[in-house]
Structures are given as structure tokens and as C-alpha cells.
């Protein structure tokens, strides 16, 4: 199984600023994803992080707002840019292992934008 | 219509009872299916995969009906520790789609 860590675990930010969340997997995973989960809601896929190329974004999410990097198979970053209070949420990194067809999640980053 | 739909919750069930969760998915191209469990303020964790032949893991039984595009999860002899949100998850073209989840409260 894969163990995924994220940092920071939480942050409180001022509107208009940006925050970069880091995700580290302890083993190689086939794919990495970034999700958002707002209180009482399910997970919403933001994008698939592609190694060495631009991420694939879901409808409603754009690169200018959520730039993503994945320089290698075990690390990815998500930046929340020009934040507003509506961006307050939990952001979760996940990795999918195609060998076991299992998706693993990081502990999440709880973001509050004032 | 959402791609993955689940029973609305919450379910409040006495300890020891049997609980059934239902889930439907709209895209027949979906390839694999899972149930995840999410505890309050924690990340989702895989509970079990769902196979066409049905599969069982202790008190948990999962079923898949591809013709009806329907997935179920049965929990027998429920425990207090089963209280959580149960998420139906579908893999379609390497895209993982989550249902909204059903919250379960097991009552002592």
C-alpha cells in the first residue's frame, strides 16, 4: 500500500494570496489526483496531475486558479491562487495504484480563507 | 443527474442491526467499483472493492449489478465503530468518481 503525506495540514490565509500544498507518496503510483471536499459534501475532483506535463482539469477548474505540478512519480503540488473565502475547503491529494486498483488518500489540507 | 448517486442519509441504526447502502451509476462504461469509508475529519479509506460475482469481507458484503448499474453494501451485526460516511466510488476511464456519501450512525 502507499502512504501519502501532505503539508501543510491546515492554514488560514488572507484573500488575494496564494497557497501551495505539497503531496508526497512513499512509493510510485500510476496516477495522482487532487480533490476538494467542502463541509458535508463529497469529494470533487479538481484535476489529474500528470508527470512532466500539464494537469488535466475537470469542468469548473482552471490552471490559472489551481496550478498543479508533478515533477516525478511520487510528488505533486497544488496551488490555490488569488484565494477568496469560497476556496475554504479541505484539499486532498490521492494516488492510484493500478497494480492493486486501489486509491490512497493523503490526510488533507484544511484551508480557511478570511 | 449525478454520475454516482447514493441513498440520502443519515441512517440511524441500533447496534447489532443490518444496514444496506445502495448506489447507482449512470455511465455504463464504468469499469471498477468500490466502497470507501470516511470518518469525521479524516480522509477516505478503501473499505472494499466490488466485483460482479459479489464479495464478502467479514460482516461486509458488496454486490454489483452491471445490467442495472447498481451497487450495494450490506453491513451485518453493526458495531458502534461502523459509524462513518460510506462513499460509493466508480472508476471510469481512470477517472475516480465519488458519490456524495451516506452517513451512518450506529446507536448504542
CB B55 within 8 A of CB B61: yes
Q: Looking at residues B50-61, what average pLDDT do you find?
A: 92
pLDDT digits (tens, 9 = 90+) for B70-79: 999 999 999 9
DSSP-derived secondary structure letter, A87? G
pLDDT digits (tens, 9 = 90+) for B12-29: 999 999 999 999 999 888
pLDDT score of B1 more than 80:
no
pLDDT digits (tens, 9 = 90+) for B37-48: 999 888 899 999
Mutate to test the interface with B, among A1, A89, A103, A104 (most CBs of B within 10 A): A103
| Least Cα separation, residue A60 to chain B (angstroms) | 15
Tell me what pLDDT residue A74 has: 93
- Contact at CB, A101 and B91, closer than 8 angstroms: yes
Phi, psi of B64, deg, nearest 5: -130, 130
Of residues A42, A45, A92, nearest to B87 (C-beta): A42
Tell how many helices (H) and how many strands (E) occur in chain A: 0, 11
Q: Provide the 3-class DSSP secondary structure of residue A86.
A: helix
The helix (run of H) or strand (run of E) holding residue A35 is strand A31-37
pLDDT score of B8 more than 80:
no
Q: Which residues of A touch B (CB under 8 A)?
A: 31, 33, 35, 41-45, 48, 92, 94, 96, 101-108
Q: What is the DSSP pairing of strand B60-65 with strand B11-14?
A: unpaired
Q: Collect contacts of B74-80 with beta carbons under 8 A, ≥24 apart.
A: B74/B18, B74/B19, B74/B20, B74/B21, B75/B18, B75/B19, B75/B20, B75/B21, B75/B104, B76/B18, B77/B16, B77/B18, B78/B13, B78/B15, B78/B16, B78/B17, B78/B18, B78/B19, B78/B106, B79/B15, B79/B106, B80/B15, B80/B106, B80/B108
Of residues B32, B45, B100, nearest to A42 (C-beta): B100
- Contact at CB, B96 and A42, closer than 8 angstroms: no
Tell me what pLDDT residue B37 has: 95
State the Cα–Cα distance between residues B2 and A26, nearest whole angstrom.
34
pLDDT score of B94 more than 80:
no
**Residues in chain A, pLDDT under 70:** none
Tell me what pLDDT residue B40 has: 87
Phi, psi of A49, deg, nearest 5: -85, 120
- Contact at CB, B43 and A108, closer than 8 angstroms: yes
Tell me what pLDDT residue B92 has: 82
pLDDT tier for residue B58 given thresholds of 50, 70 and 90: very high
pLDDT score of B51 more than 90:
no
Tell me what pLDDT residue A113 has: 96
| Chain A environment of B95 (Cβ under 8 Å) | 45, 48
* Residue B72 bridge partners (DSSP): B22, B63
- Contact at CB, B89 and A92, closer than 8 angstroms: no
Chain A residue closest in CA terms to B40: A40
Amino acid at each position: 500500500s502507499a502512504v501519502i503525506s501532505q503539508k501543510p495540514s491546515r492554514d488560514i490565509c488572507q484573500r488575494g494570496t496564494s497557497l501551495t500544498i505539497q503531496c508526497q507518496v512513499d512509493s510510485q503510483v500510476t496516477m495522482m489526483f487532487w480533490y476538494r471536499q467542502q463541509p458535508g459534501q463529497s469529494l470533487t475532483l479538481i484535476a489529474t496531475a500528470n508527470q512532466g506535463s500539464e494537469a488535466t482539469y475537470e469542468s469548473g477548474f482552471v490552471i490559472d486558479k489551481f496550478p498543479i505540478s508533478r515533477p516525478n512519480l511520487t510528488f505533486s503540488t497544488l496551488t490555490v491562487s488569488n484565494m477568496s473565502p469560497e476556496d475554504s475547503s479541505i484539499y486532498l491529494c490521492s494516488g492510484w495504484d493500478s497494480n492493486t486498483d486501489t486509491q490512497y488518500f493523503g490526510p488533507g489540507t484544511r484551508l480557511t480563507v478570511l | 443527474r449525478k454520475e454516482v448517486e447514493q441513498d440520502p442519509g443519515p441512517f440511524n441504526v441500533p447496534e447489532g442491526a443490518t444496514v444496506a447502502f445502495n448506489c447507482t451509476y449512470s455511465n455504463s462504461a464504468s469499469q471498477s467499483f468500490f466502497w470507501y469509508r470516511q470518518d469525521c475529519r479524516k480522509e477516505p479509506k478503501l473499505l472494499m472493492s466490488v466485483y460482479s460475482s459479489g464479495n464478502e469481507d467479514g460482516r461486509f458484503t458488496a454486490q454489483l449489478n452491471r445490467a442495472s448499474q447498481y451497487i450495494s453494501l450490506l453491513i451485518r451485526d453493526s458495531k458502534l465503530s461502523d459509524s462513518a460516511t460510506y462513499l460509493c466510488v466508480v472508476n471510469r476511464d481512470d477517472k475516480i468518481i465519488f458519490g456524495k456519501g451516506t452517513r451512518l450512525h450506529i446507536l448504542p
